[in-house]
Amino acid sequence: MDVMQQLNQIAQERDLPLEELQLELEEALAAAYKKYVGARGEVNVKLDPRKGWTASVEKEVVAVVVEPSFQMSLVEAKKRKEDVEIGDFIPMEVDPNRFGRIAAQTAKQVLSQKLREAETRRIHDVFEEKIGDIVTGTVSRRDDQNIYIQVNKVEAELPRREQVPTERYSANARLKVYVYKVDDSQRRLKVIVSRTHPNLLRKLFELEVPEINTGVVVIKSVAREPGQRSKIAVQSTDERVDPIGACIGPRGARVQAIVDELNDEKIDVVPFKEDPKEFIIEALSPAKVNSIKLTEKKNDRGDMEKHAYVVVPESQLSLAIGKGGQNVRLAARLTGWTIDIRSEGQAAAEKTGERVAPDKNAGRDNNSNRGRG
């Protein structure tokens, strides 16, 4: 295989411009030869698809030639240029085959570096615009605890912390990932993607729901426990459009497509309310709420703490809290309020100063009744 065929192959495999690769190789070989022989003058190398390699070196005119590869006597130089003087440089064609093994090896190293730089620039240019968006790729390989996703001939890294524990990531499986960041802090540029980020859910809804994409329906907040359950709050800017119905879609088709993409992660779509009490009630759905008391105060750091004390019927306590406190945690993250839930009996006992017995179905202690925003 000749050089041009090799360059064509590399260009196709790395998705790089052939002209750019050819120029990089010419510069690399020129630099390698100059370093190898110790030439002081300029070295030029050209690769012609038909003629092959041509090379020239500026030989220094000297009184006594010590290194013929880059020096020329004054007598020889005057045959080519009458007014030449010692210290001048005369360009001379040289046989590229004389570069030698060391020069060729150096050229290979320089070319490899330039290829990495070119690919790094391409990756950065392509994915810098996609930060905060989702892309589709296939699982290419596993390395230790990381999964690598092939996206448009580029391998993106899915670190363990961004993986959903319940997902298997089988080889060649197609999936959508959220482009979290482009990390250029190390020698090798890395594209970091996520399957756990809340914005993955937000972007999936933007793809599936035209009303969100056009701005008629607005996503106000998202809360996720990846692989298990999510809540998303939506609001319509057009009173004629039902935001819940738009997100769920005909016969639930839109939300089901997202559930399928997230491997059966349950999704609650709730209406956003300007009134925080109403919003908390919606966020705690499907549980019913009897009453809510809101308090706000600044802490020692000057931050505003928002606390909701929620009372529910006895029969609704476990539903409001959710398995392992999941429902109340998600509601708290969705609304931005710390939520304490009590049954009617627990609330009455607290008023009279009695000890509150924890609900055996709600968790191990009363902390299970709390969700933090």
Q: Would you place residue 90 in the very low, low, confident or very high pLDDT band (cuts 50, 70, 90)?
A: very high
Instruction: Report the pLDDT value the prediction gives residue 39, as an integer from 0 to 100.
Output: 85
Average pLDDT over residues 189-199: 93
**108 & 151 share domain:** no
**Does some domain include residue 364?**
yes
Co-location of 239 and 323 in the same domain: no
106 shares a domain with 28: yes
Output the pLDDT for position 362: 42
- Domain limits for position 233: 197-272
Express each pLDDT in 268-308 by its tens digit: 999 999 999 999 999 999 999 999 999 998 888 888 899 99
Average pLDDT (238-261) is 96
Tell me, yes or no, whether 151 lies in a domain: yes
pLDDT at residue 103, as a whole number: 64
* Predicted TM-score (pTM) above 0.75: no
pLDDT value for 357: 54
pLDDT level of residue 104 (50, 70, 90 thresholds): low
Among 44-48, 58-62, 236-240, the range scoring the smallest mean pLDDT is 44-48
Domain total of the chain: 4
Q: Do 242 and 285 have their domain in common?
A: no
Distance CA 311, CA 340 (A): 9
Tens digits of per-residue pLDDT, 128-179?
Answer: 889 999 999 999 999 889 999 999 878 899 999 999 999 999 999 999 999 9
Residues 30 and 78 in one domain: yes
pLDDT given at position 277:
97
Give the residue from 272, 298, 331 where a domain finishes: 272
Distances from the Cα of 177 to the Cα of 16, 24, 123, 173, 317, angstroms: 25, 34, 16, 12, 36
On the question of pLDDT at 365 being above 60, the answer is: no
Q: Residue 302 is part of a domain; what is its CATH number? A: 3.30.300.20
Do both 113 and 208 map to the same domain? no
Q: Of the candidates 245, 272, 299, which is a domain's last residue?
A: 272
**217 and 181 belong to one structural domain:** no
The answer on 287 and 244 residing in a single domain is no
Provide the β-strand partners of residue 183: 190
CATH number at residue 85: 3.30.1480
Q: pLDDT band at 32, cuts 50/70/90?
A: confident
- The reply to whether 24 falls in a domain is yes
In-domain check, residue 71 = yes
Q: Is the pLDDT of residue 360 over 50?
A: no
Query: Does residue 159 sit in the same domain as residue 215?
Result: no
Q: How far, CA to CA in Å, does 188 sit from each of 52, 117, 123, 152?
A: 33, 9, 11, 18
Identity (one letter) of the amino acid at 249? Answer: G
Asked whether residue 225 falls in the same domain as residue 183, the answer is: no
Whether 373 is covered by a domain: the verdict is yes
Flag whether 201 is in a domain. Answer: yes
In contact, 148 and 140? CB cutoff 8 Å: yes
Question: Is 206 part of any domain?
Answer: yes
**120, 145, 160: which is the final residue of a domain?**
120
Q: Which long-range contacts link 110-115 to residues 24+ away (Cβ below 8 Å)? A: 110/27, 110/28, 110/31, 110/32, 111/24, 111/25, 111/28, 114/24, 114/27, 114/28, 115/10, 115/14, 115/16, 115/21, 115/24
Q: Write down the mean pLDDT value for the chain.
A: 88
| Shared-domain flag, residues 183 and 104 | no
Q: How many CA atoms lie within 13 A of 348 on its CB side?
A: 7
Task: Let me know if residue 125 belongs to a domain.
Answer: no
Q: Are residues 142 and 116 in the same domain?
A: no
CATH code of the domain containing 181:
2.40.50.140
